[in-house]
Chain A
Amino acid sequence: MLVIRSCSWVKLWGNSHPVRWSLPQVWAPRSPHRGLRTSPCTSKHYSFFKELDREFVKFQKKLKESLPSNDWSLLSPTASLPPERADVVIVGGGVIGWSVAYWLKKLENRRDGLRVVVIEKDPTYAHASTVLSAGGIRQQFSRPENIQMSLFSAQFLRNINEHLGLVNEEAIDLQFNPSGYLFLASEDGASVLEENYKAQREQGAQVALLAAEQLKKKFPWICTDGVALASYGLENEGWFDPWTLLNAFKRKAQSLGVYQSHSQVIGFKQSLREMTTEDGESVNFRRIRHVVVQVPSSPETHSVECALVINTAGAWSGRVAEMANIGTGDPGSLEGTKLPIEPRKRYVYTFHCPDGPGLDCPLLIDSSGAYFRREGLGGNYIGGLSPTEEEEPDPGNLDVDYDFFQQKVWPLLARRVPAFESLKVRSAWAGYYDYNTYDHNGVIGNHPLVHNMFFASGFSGHGLQHAPAVGRAIAELIVHNEFKTLDLRAFSFKRFYTEEPVLERNIV
């Protein structure tokens, strides 16, 4: 049997769409048995179709005008309004959100078994970390889980067209630069670097240790003063274009039937159940019933009935968690434990230096924390530095502080690469780290009290590269009720309450 597939008409007829309208009479096929192939095209048919065509255009125009936002097209039923009901609502359409959506569709055990909607407040992604990141991928972490996630992601990205390719579309070109990461360590940091190296090799990452002389020989443009040891990623490390990855996830997920809505989540409707523990303490269990959203150009709010909510709001996921009453109880209790994720502003500077390092330039991370990498081949580089806790800039806007480069970043870069003494800053941008103030690592899994809220955020500067692995992990939790591919239990929300930080030494 031929089964009709995601045809826009069928969806529009479904009661999920808020706009109700009836089909004009003329559209119903007059005689269902009239095969197109056997009927000779007489002039009567000709004019009939012409007429029909005109009607069609007129109707489409009318329909378009009557809708709240005009980017809506009759043939692509993705309006900015969310459906009234969904199984899974994903809050935040950054790379993590769309990765979760893709994997849910991939792992669902029945076709269209899950109705998934991604809610993104800003379709231009003006503030989203994903598109403002440096695009790096590395295996040089200290936690085995982080190394494994990167290895998984590297494999995914390498075969991206097998996973996210669309039939009859151009191949996805991630613009991957396989140039590696180079971590430098001072005398003090050398032993830690060596330990990390061992952990990485154990997980199967191809990393090499270089002593100072070897480093000088391999990269003559580095000034090795104060460098005791370096570790250099040989495979699967480098940088790629974040936009391409985001779009690839998004388009594939949409082709698999994920809905998207351009609106902002402003709250949740929950049900509450009070229970008493053995010690006589009362605990409030909550369950999210509806997600309340607001569409930009309208004061009205809509609610989406849902079974699960996934918080992938990146730097704003702390705020979204608060909307679900997470962290609003007594301090020190599980109810009072906040999701410790906040936006932290980070600058990335683009500079030009004609005599700078050439083809062999890796993404270099200095022992001081400053980093840079090549951008193209014309002597352009991008670089930056995470400020100290005291220097944290105000995250209220994304303005760039150029003095920070002159005073803090440049001296460090020029000390490491003498050629950079003559560099010229070309431009700069700022983006938000989805910064986990507790232990700088992601939060993966659901909340112990608000059972149907899942987190996938707080990756503090390495979320882009982990997106494929994290999306899969969350989808596994939902579909199989446990992690299958990688064991990421250490990243659960509980660690904030039980005080078991997941420490990662290589945070840039």
Chain B
Amino acid sequence: MMPEDTGSHSDYIPPVSRVIVPFMWMRSSRAASLAVCVQTIGALPAVTWGASRPSSSSSSPVSAVRHRLMDFLDKYFYDIEAAISWSVRLKQWNLRRKNAHYAYTERRYGPYVAAAYFALSKRGGVRFQGHTDWLRTDSKGQISWDFLQLKEVPVECVDLSESSLTFRGLDNIVSLKELRELYLRRCPHLDDWALSRLYVFQDSLEVLSLAGCPRITERGLAALHHLKNLRHLDVSDLPSVQSKGLVRILLEEALPGCHIVGLDYYEGLEDDDSRVVPTADLRH
């Protein structure tokens, strides 16, 4: 109600109203307060909390105004601040929940079934040893429970592409000693910390795809040097990686015998020198 109207019925918004408006609201009745709350809830999806924003996103002018408005409201009112912090916390809680460790399943059915269940519930897929078909959910997201019979059969391939996998979620697959192929394409929450955890597959992993993960940088890719058995690595379309050409050369050096896809040789080669600012120069 109010936040919009201040802007809509006049083109000239005096800056000083930034100061006066809160006073009026402070004096306003309970109904007004409620209305503002309702307004807030409506506007909530506009609130981004840093981490969930892909680094490359450029916000449209409309959402920029919305951000500013929310920022402003957040600064002045406890109610709105609380509502926003609740929505942020809800998102965090949700992400944690989605990455919870299926410890009970693991105890009851063993690591293979637990990992398969985790992957399937994230709408991913798995392939058991000796099978040629991938096990996936059907188009309605239903799981066929036959895989519970495969308790003793190792899982060889896991596909968790486009899932909300994080460092914590990896708890569910790190015990797959026979894992040979891992697909983690376009995982919005996968970061360098998570990559550093892939060393557990160093004896078995042959194929890895990280294509399109927005948060992965060259610092995390460095941790792939552990994976000595890797034959195929897909690192295409990683917007946060700097000096792509150099990273590719170094990856090839660290992983001889691995076919690397993505990271063009000539991309970013020219800027690698300016990027490696010695820490000392950052200070005075």
Contacts and interface: CB of A to CB of B under 8 A. Distances in A.
Interface of A: 1-7, 9, 27, 29, 32-37, 40-41, 46, 49-50, 52-53, 56, 111, 124-126, 131-132, 134-135, 158, 161-162, 165-172, 175-179, 234-236, 238, 241, 243, 348, 350, 358-360, 375-378, 380, 382, 426-429
A178 B197 CA distance: 9
A161 B250 contact: no
A41 B10 contact: yes
Contact of B15 (A1, A53, A377, A429): A53
B219 A52 contact: no
B94 interface: no
B74 interface: yes
B188 to A, nearest CB: 12
A360 B254 contact: yes
A194 B35 CA distance: 65
A36 B17 contact: yes
Contact of B75 (A6, A32, A171, A236): A6
B114 to A, nearest CB: 21
A4 B36 CA distance: 13
A5 B224 CA distance: 48
Contacts of B53: 170-171
A56 B18 CA distance: 12
**Interface extent on B, as a size class?**
35 or more
Contacts of A7: 22, 75-76
B223 A5 contact: no
Interface stretch (B118-126, B133-141, B275-283): B275-283
Contact of B2 (A37, A124, A177): A37
Which are the 8 A-B pairs with shortest beta-carbon distances? Answer: A376-B276, A178-B196, A171-B50, A49-B14, A161-B51, A37-B5, A41-B10, A350-B278
B192 interface: yes
Interface of chain A, main secondary structure: loop
A358 B254 contact: yes
Nearest to A124: B284
Contact of B250 (A1, A359, A375): A359
A429 B280 contact: yes
A147 B103 CA distance: 26
B69 to A, nearest CB: 10
B81 A5 contact: yes
A176 B193 CA distance: 8
Given A2-B26, A4-B26, A131-B283, A377 B250 contact: yes
Contacts of B27: 32-33
Contact of B5 (A3, A27, A36, A175): A36
Contact of B280 (A34, A165, A348): A348
B254 A171 contact: no
Q: Which of A111, A241, A360 has the most CB of B within 10 A?
A: A360
A37 B9 contact: yes
Contacts of B85: 167
B195 interface: yes
10 contacts: A29-B24, A32-B24, A56-B16, A111-B78, A126-B283, A238-B196, A241-B279, A378-B273, A427-B280, A428-B280
Nearest to A379: B276
B220 interface: yes
Contact of A176 (B36, B76, B219): B219
